[in-house]
Chains A and B, each alone.
Chain A
Amino acid sequence: GAGVSQSPRYKVAKRGQDVALRCDPISGHVSLFWYQQALGQGPEFLTYFQNEAQLDKSGLPSDRFFAERPEGSVSTLKIQRTQQEDSAVYLCASRPDRFSTDTQYFGPGTRLTVL
């Protein structure tokens, strides 16, 4: 079946521009996560949704980062006034939440480069 999809796959932004990254989770998956992966590092947690509710946004690095999932399916991560340090791969993951041992399924990521 279809996996997690993300768009765009690549985004180049000039410093100061706003960007919006989209995530389409696996159909029916309850939980959705955003991670940021800098070059040579492991992914780092940004935020978590259960259906449309954003239950944890402790990983968002600044108030320039905003995420939403208004209908409990597609999610958008928005970064305002991008800075060079925002350059990274942004990974979205979803989880079905049928069982306690369910794990997360990752999308291919959006590679953001801020010039």
Chain B
Amino acid sequence: RKEVEQDPGPFNVPEGATVAFNCTYSNSASQSFFWYRQDCRKEPKLLMSVYSSGNEDGRFTAQLNRASQYISLLIRDSKLSDSATYLCVIPGFQKLVFGTGTRLLVSP
């Protein structure tokens, strides 16, 4: 089993929709988690950090379920500018372990 697994998508949603991505991880000892955003042909950029049960930042909510070992990212009121790949990331020992990413396409 991969350390971090994500549905690659793409998720096609209209503007204003709510969309959620899930990510499962295999290392039950993991304490912190990240969601990174990567635009086409650009570098990954940190979107949210999750250290406890969850985190909320505006339209974005990240939730952590330790018992089931999954992290979710919820995006409300989707904007065209939200179109990107969303990478689930688990910190390893002095490195980041990335999922394959979930591609989101928001259409007018």
Bound-state CA distance A108–B42 (Å) is 6
Interface residues of chain A, those whose CB is within 8 Å of chain B, are 31, 33, 35, 40-45, 48, 50, 55-56, 59, 91, 93, 101, 103-104, 106-109, 111
Known interface pairs A40-B8, A103-B34; A45-B92 also in contact (CB < 8 Å): yes
Q: Which of B13-21, B69-77, B94-102 contacts A (4 or more CB under 8 A)?
A: B94-102
- Quick check: B98 and A106 within 8 Å, CB to CB? no
Contacts of B4 in A (CB 8 A): 42
Q: Determine which of B41, B49, B100 lies in contact with A42 in the assembled complex, contact meaning CB atoms within 8 Å.
A: B100
Bound-state CA distance A86–B51 (Å) is 35
Interface of B is mostly: loop
Chain B 63-108 interface residues, beta-carbon cutoff 8 Å to A: 87, 92-101
Interface of A is mostly: strand
Q: How many residues from B make CB contacts under 8 Å with A? A: 23
Chain B 8-67 interface residues, beta-carbon cutoff 8 Å to A: 8, 32, 34, 41-46, 49, 51
24 A-B pairs, CB-CB below 8 angstroms?
A: A31-B94, A33-B95, A40-B8, A42-B4, A42-B100, A43-B96, A44-B98, A45-B95, A48-B94, A48-B95, A50-B94, A55-B94, A56-B94, A56-B95, A91-B43, A93-B96, A101-B51, A103-B46, A103-B49, A104-B96, A106-B43, A106-B44, A107-B43, A108-B42
Contacts of A101 in B (CB 8 A): 32, 49, 51
Bound-state CA distance A14–B42 (Å) is 25
Minimal Cβ-Cβ distance residue in B for A44: B98
Given contacts A42-B100, A56-B95, A106-B45, 4 further A-B contacts (CB under 8 A): A35-B98, A43-B96, A45-B95, A111-B41
